[in-house]
């Protein structure tokens, strides 16, 4: 692992943020520090599919999710970090995690780190009350007293970044959250949020963006480098391209409709998938492990989805090895750059 690389100490003192990305081999024992406040594994489990109809969730699927949760702890996977949002399943994802946290308490098991998000719809005009009200709803659904990491889900708020930063700072001061982050912010937006929080003595912990072999834009735009400079960890959502990079889907068997991020026709991904498959065979790991290891090698924390124990075990196989520079270069040569969006994905 490596500490943050920076020639000077910008406002917010990024050195105090701790180690925010892995430089060596990621292992189950590796821990990173977000916002100088929470210690997390170098991979998280993204839980959008837990309770959301976009992923065809049905209540009878809860048992598989519970088994996934238990597998990650019973088999000492090293993963202690789960990411959700108030908007996932209109709160159902948080409800599910709340049930699982309650089960941990009853069984005397440690509680993992939980991140969730506030959706700042443009009509949410009153700050800090809009944010604090939503946060208290998340706290109730999760069944916790404090949220480990609270993130702004996207840069769609009409109020200024500074106003939103003041609301996040209020949540910290009230003891409702341990650390705060943003998602889908551009470099300029992230820098503004970092500076606004620093005036309250708070380190911006994270910027969560779509980053994968199907969207290298956060790297090629300089986002990842700027985040590291400021002590902001990069959380990579959809690191498996919503299933497209796992080997499960082909041109003849495409993903279900509705998986909108990196929604490329599978025929366009044939060269990339061939390289992923080759490297996976050389390391004796699933294709998904190669895609996840790639995001770690680039300085991000991937949020890999898992809806059953087998998917969880496949994700964990990204630990214990690291892509060589030559392999990263080979993958870069066939990966897609992607782009930003006008409304949601600014970063």
Mean pLDDT check: name the lowest of 129-143, 194-208, 261-275: 261-275
Asked if 140 and 134 count as a contact pair (C-beta separation under 8 A), the reply is no
pLDDT value of residue 265: 82
> Which alpha helices (DSSP H) does 186-324 contain, by range?
187-198, 217-220, 223-229, 270-283, 287-297, 309-316
Strands (E) located in 211-252: 233-237
Which of 150, 65, 67, 143 is CA-nearest to residue 105? Answer: 143
CA 335 distance to own-chain centroid: 20
pLDDT value of residue 54: 76
Is 57 annotated as catalytic?
no
Q: What is the pLDDT of residues 59-114, one digit of tens each?
A: 888 999 999 999 998 777 999 999 999 999 999 999 999 999 999 999 999 999 99
Q: What is the pLDDT of residues 193-240, one digit of tens each?
A: 999 999 999 999 999 999 999 999 999 999 999 999 999 999 999 999
What is the average per-residue pLDDT within 238-254? 80
pLDDT classification of 252: cutoffs 50, 70, 90: low
**Active site residue: 88, 127, 150, 294, which one?**
88
Q: What is the DSSP letter of 317?
A: T
């Amino acid at each position: 692992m490596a500490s943050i690389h920076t020639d000077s100490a910008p406002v917010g003192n990024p050195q105090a943020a701790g180690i925010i990305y892995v430089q060596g081999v990621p292992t189950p024992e590796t821990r990173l520090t977000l916002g100088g406040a929470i210690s997390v594994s170098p991979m998280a489990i993204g839980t959008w599919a837990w309770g959301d109809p976009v992923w065809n969730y049905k209540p009878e699927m809860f048992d598989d999710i519970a088994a996934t949760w238990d597998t990650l702890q019973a088999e000492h996977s090293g993963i202690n970090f789960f990411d959700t949002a108030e908007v996932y399943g209109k709160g159902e994802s948080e409800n599910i995690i709340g049930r699982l946290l309650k089960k941990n308490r009853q069984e005397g098991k440690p509680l993992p780190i939980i991140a969730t998000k506030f959706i700042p719809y443009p009509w949410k005009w009153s700050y800090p009350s809009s944010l604090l009200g939503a946060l208290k709803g998340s706290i109730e659904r999760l069944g916790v007293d404090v949220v480990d990491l609270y993130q702004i889900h996207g840069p769609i708020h009409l109020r200024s970044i500074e106003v939103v930063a003041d609301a996040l700072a209020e949540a910290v001061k009230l003891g409702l959250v341990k650390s705060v982050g943003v998602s889908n912010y551009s470099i300029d937006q992230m820098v503004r949020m970092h500076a606004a929080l620093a005036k309250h003595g708070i380190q911006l912990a994270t910027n969560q963006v779509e980053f994968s072999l199907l969207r290298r834009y956060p790297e090629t735009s300089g986002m990842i480098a700027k985040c590291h400079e400021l002590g902001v960890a990069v959380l990579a959502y959809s690191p498996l391209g919503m299933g497209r990079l796992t080997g499960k889907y082909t041109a003849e068997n495409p993903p279900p409709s509705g998986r909108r991020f990196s929604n490329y026709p599978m025929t366009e991904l044939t060269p990339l998938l061939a390289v992923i498959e080759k490297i996976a065979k050389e390391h004796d790991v699933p294709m998904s492990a190669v895609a996840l290891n790639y995001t770690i090698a680039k300085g991000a924390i991937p949020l890999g989805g898992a809806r059953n124990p087998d998917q969880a075990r496949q994700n964990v196989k990204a630990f214990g090895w690291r892509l060589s520079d030559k392999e990263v270069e080979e993958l870069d040569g066939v990966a897609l750059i992607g782009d930003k969006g006008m409304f949601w994905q600014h970063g």
